[in-house]
Amino acid sequence: MNIVGHLINGEIRTDATTTQDVYNPASGEVTKQVALASQATVEEAIATAEAAYPAWRQTPPAKRAKIMFRFKQLLEDNAEKICQLIGEEHGKISHDAMGELTRGIENVEFACYGPEMLKGEHSKNVGPGIDSWNEMQPLGVVAGITPFNFPAMVPLWMYPLAIMCGNTFVLKPSERDPSSTLYIAQLLEEAGLPKGVLNVVNGDKVAVDTLLTDPRIKAVSFVGSTPIAEYVYSTASAHGKRCQALGGAKNHAIVMPDADMDNAVAALTGAAFGSSGERCMALSVAVCVGDAAADALVDKMTNAMQDLKVGAYTDASNDFGPLITEAHRNKVSGYIDSAEQQGATIVVDGRNPEVAGYPNGFYVGGTLIDNVKPGMTCYEEEIFGPVLLVLRVDSMEEAMQLINDHEYGNGTCIFTRDGEAARYFADNILVGMVGINIPLPVPVAYHSFGGWKRSLFGCLSAYGPDGVRFYTNRKTITQRWPSSGVRESVQFSFPSN
């Protein structure tokens, strides 16, 4: 059986004492295995990155940018193969996989602007004959730990920008769908990246803990669930590392009485069920202001969901695919069970859908649950599946209070025609990414991505301007060249201009 290995110093390594099965979630079949790195293997990858750092640090940013431009072209040229690999191991339908890859390529495009972002600032004559300037210097060896739900996009949030800034990188992708991530890393080397600048190690907690504790790793980027994000942040910080750890979410959409209901339903359908709900920006809660708005939403959503198609990635007419594992499929179904047991109304039931030709796939169909209340398990926890909850409240203030009281603060939106209400919402909601009639307010590559509260641990968001700040140290140099032959007096007071 094919074994997915590691990329260390430009070589694919499949040697491993431990492997893990990789499934095709559409069929439920094991298709390959992935090598799980030992501590020694991870340490070798770190040593390789450390050895490559001095030369890469001194490589002019313009030359780094040329490599990134070639990398972007190779990603576009090989998009079909990348999307196939994503589909085979994650289950995403081809159009969804292409959307993921496209957003990742946008981050590579942003990294291509490295020479502009790294040029620093200069001030002449801050004092008599004194000049001062800032430089953005790389940190050294940095690491990324990425999730299964975006095997192409999330790694591309991290290492292109980190490498563009002059760092070397060790990536630990998800062991559940590793092939597309590894293939993309090989494309970057094909684009001309020197061996050892980017290394990929597949693994489990052993690999993660090695990256978090090894003193040669200067910074760690993470995307995943909140419990693991908190662990990564606290462990990395305790070992003196810079860390940004993006966690989970419970994204609410407020549906106002004046909302364009047809457009709101179309937006919610895609945002709740796209990618099978396996994304941290999925809109999983609709908070309707007033029973009239709730009744209209539930009625229209029920009708819209009759046409939803769940199935295998090989059929592009499907709207979304299976969940990543059988265990996760059962967990999502368990949330639906708990909602029913705790008094909510299952309007559209996606448990145990029949998918022709794929009886053993890990499928859950689109599910709509009405009359959900705070305190219910399905509301308090992140489901990470194709499930939309409907809550009913009497006012916009009550809806906003629900959102502000929730432990997560990743993304949110409001559907309304009222500009005053939208402005008040944007100003006062305690969430990091806000949409106004936009269901998935994911920032473009030249802004930054990050939530609030327990959706983000660390003070800097991912990619964009915050990414540059995260992967560099600012150094300020102040210099003066005294005139020859001029004797200066001693000055004991603190200098000023």
Q: Report, as an integer, the average pLDDT of 320-334.
A: 97
Distance CA 92, CA 159 (A): 23
- And the tokens for 52? 């490559």
Lowest model confidence (mean pLDDT) among 61-70, 120-129, 268-277 = 120-129
Q: What is the DSSP string of 137-195?
A: EE-SEEEEE--SS-TTHHHHHHHHHHHHTT-EEEEE--SSS-HHHHHHHHHHHHTTPPT
Give the pLDDT confidence score for residue 488 in this predicted structure.
Answer: 76
Q: Which pLDDT band holds residue 497 (cuts at 50, 70, 90)?
A: low
Could you give the strand order of the β-sheet that contains 198-200, starting from the edge strand earlier in sequence? Answer: 11-13, 6-8, 198-200, 168-172, 141-145, 217-223, 242-246, 456-457
Confidence of residue 240 (pLDDT cuts 50, 70, 90): very high
User: What is the per-residue pLDDT for 1?
Assistant: 78
| Confidence grade of residue 490 (pLDDT, cut at 50, 70, 90) | confident
List the catalytic residues. Answer: 280
- The better pLDDT of the pair 15, 465 is held by 465
In this structure, what token pair is assigned to residue 424?
């008040």
**pLDDT for residue 207 is more than 90:** yes
**pLDDT averaged over every residue in the chain:** 95
Q: In the chain, where are the structural domains located?
A: 3-247+455-477, 251-436
Q: Mean pLDDT throughout 270-299? A: 96
pLDDT in tens, 126-151: 888 889 999 999 999 999 999 999 99
Rounded (10°) angle between helices 61-77 and 94-111: 170
Strands 18-24 and 242-246 turn out to be unpaired
Over the stretch 79-104, which tens digit does the pLDDT of each residue have?
999 999 999 999 999 999 999 999 99
Return the axis-axis angle of helices 291-305 and 261-273, rounded to nearest 10°.
60
Q: What is the pLDDT of residue 163?
A: 98
pLDDT at position 128: 83
CATH code, residues 3-247+455-477: 3.40.605.10
* Token pair belonging to 488: 């200066």
Report the pLDDT averaged over residues 382-410. Answer: 97
Tell me what pLDDT residue 59 has.
97
pLDDT greater than 90 at residue 379: yes
Residue 430 has pLDDT above 80, yes or no: yes
Provide the pLDDT for residue 127: 86
pLDDT at 288: 98
pLDDT (average), residues 403-408: 96
Share of the chain above pLDDT 70, in %: 100
Structure tokens at 232: 């990564």
Q: What does the pLDDT average to over 287-300? A: 97
Predicted pLDDT at 338: 98
Work out the pLDDT band at 494, boundaries 50, 70, 90: confident
In which band, very low, low, confident or very high, does the pLDDT at 489 lie, cut at 50, 70 and 90? confident
Share of the chain above pLDDT 90, in %: 92
112: confidence class by pLDDT, cuts 50, 70, 90: very high
Strands 367-370 and 345-348, by their bridges, are antiparallel
Report the predicted TM-score, pTM, of the whole model to 2 decimal places: 0.94
> What homologous superfamily does CATH list for 251-436?
Aldehyde Dehydrogenase; Chain A, domain 2 (3.40.309.10)
Asked if the model's pLDDT at residue 496 lies above 90, the reply is no
Report, as an integer, the average pLDDT of 339-366. 96
